[in-house]
Amino acid sequence: MRAPLAGLDGQGFDVAVVGAGAVGCATARELAARGFRVLLVDRGDIGAGTSSRSSRMLYSGLGYLAVRYPLWQMALRPRDMLRRLAYTRDVMRCRAELVRDMPGHLTRHRFHYPFRKGDRYPPWLVDLGFKLVEGLGGWKVPLSYRRKRVAQAAGDSAMAAELARTQGGALTGIGTFQEYMYAWPERICVDTSLDAERRGATLRTYTAVTGIERAGDAWQLTLEDRVLDAERAQVRAAVVVNAAGPWIDRVPGGGQGPRVLGVKGVNVMVRLPADFRGQGLEAFSTKGEPYYVFPWRDLHFIGPTETVVRDDPDTIRVTESEVDYILAQFNHLFPTLNLTRADVVHCWCGVRPTSTLDGQETVLPVRVVEQPDRPNLLAVTGSTIMLHRHAARMAARAVERRLGRRGAPAGGAIPAPDSDIARILRTEHVTHLDDLIRRRLPLGLDPDLGRDSAEEISRAAATALGWSEERRRAELERFHQETDRIYPAMAPVSARLRRTG
């Protein structure tokens, strides 16, 4: 059912978008809606990279106002503070847009913010920050923030009660607020790309861009099919939008970097007391970095880390020391729960493509950059899933400045996900079994990560796609290998010691 790549050979497009993560999919949708002929291409599946390895939170943006320099210097750095306020405003506006247009992809939860003696940020400043963040979003999606007395908060939720019991006199109050989690971040990418296709975009997965070269007044892209190695094609595009996330500087011919600085984030899934279900927490680690306890169905995940990395994102893996650090930070907040490696269900990491300035200084805003010697080859940097529509509109306006306006911007809600497996297999560009389980169906985010249903789903896919028994078994093995690679279970220290003698 996979169309031959040769069908694209020699075709011309107004815009080629490289990377089918959240930003690339939204950019293709936005450009197609505005009347441009668009090709969206990715070397893997839709939403299989950074977009599938986030912290899954529709974040309100309070942490973006947190500075690492002494607080008294805030008044002396007005440009930095204005930039942070502008960024937070964009975050809150996008938050409201997603709540309005994609409610089925979100879940709402109560989060807690513990106030402790000796905290860097005094309660009045945190109160002001929450109100400021809410105001920057025009109060369209209330945070419903309140700072409560410890006893009052403890009477309202089990998580607050545990904080009160374990933190003792160090706890001076507990803030509560409403926050959203992505119920299924991968599906946001899939649904957005399918809507782009409905609007006229051409979508091609498992197709690598192996070269981008100038050809007259256009760019020539060399494409290579990663399923059928012998298939290659060349297409032309007036404008190329490099939306490859942390791989932006690694796209062959896609321009010189560094334009992004990778920030590695590790999250650890654990099982907490049953009465904690659905409740979350935001705090700061002992390093002064944002630290969360995220609710996830019957479980919770904790983290993330914030580590600058310069290695190929394909090689980045969770380390034991990172897991130990995250567990230690949790135990600092909830010492009586005493989480250990034995409590880890699984973990994962992603690399966030933070924008850079001169290859060094990390800056907050989403950017659309172009090198002087590479006209009409644009790169979108610094976005998150939260800001993917904002980044797409920025990229579309940049294209319009070069090619002229042709139509109206994209608008409205994206159609809800399909639930019929046979139809998904026919219409949603499924190539491998993990595409289906991990990114087309919600099974891949179950506590078992889809393992228990993989055999049954593989048989349904084999029937619909005409796989041989050999192919079905190979796809099943690939699914389990990918699951173990992306979501490793971290063995307890004692078990590791036994294995090594």
Strands (E), 32-94: 38-41, 57-58
How is the chain split among helix, strand and coil, in percent rounded to 5?
40, 25, 35
pTM of the model: 0.94
Domain membership of residue 445 (yes or no) is: yes
DSSP state of 438: I
Domain of residue 442 covers 421-486
Residue 429 inside a domain? The answer is yes
Which two three-digit tokens encode residue 27?
């950019």
Number of domains in the chain: 1
C-alpha atoms less than 13 angstroms from C-alpha of 283 in its C-beta half-sphere: 26
Q: Does some domain include residue 453?
A: yes
Q: Tell whether 409 is covered by a domain.
A: no
Q: Is residue 96 part of a domain?
A: no
Q: Is residue 442 part of a domain?
A: yes
Identify whether 196 is part of a domain: no
Question: Rounded to the nearest 5°, which phi and psi values hold at 387?
Answer: -100, 15
- Angle, helices 78-101 vs 388-403, to 10°: value is 100
Print pLDDT tens along the chain (501 aa): 688 999 999 999 999 999 999 999 999 999 999 999 999 999 999 999 999 999 999 887 677 777 777 776 777 788 888 888 888 899 899 999 999 999 989 999 999 999 998 888 889 989 999 999 989 888 888 899 999 999 999 999 999 999 999 888 899 999 999 999 999 899 999 999 999 999 999 999 999 999 999 999 999 999 999 998 779 999 999 999 999 999 999 999 998 888 999 999 999 999 999 999 999 999 988 888 889 999 999 999 999 998 999 999 999 999 999 999 999 999 999 999 999 999 999 999 999 998 886 655 556 689 999 999 999 999 999 999 999 999 999 999 999 999 999 999 998 888 888 788 999 999 999 999 999 999 999 999 999 999 999 999 999 999 999 999 999 999 999 999 999 999 998 766 544 433 333
Q: Does residue 223 belong to any structural domain of this protein?
A: no
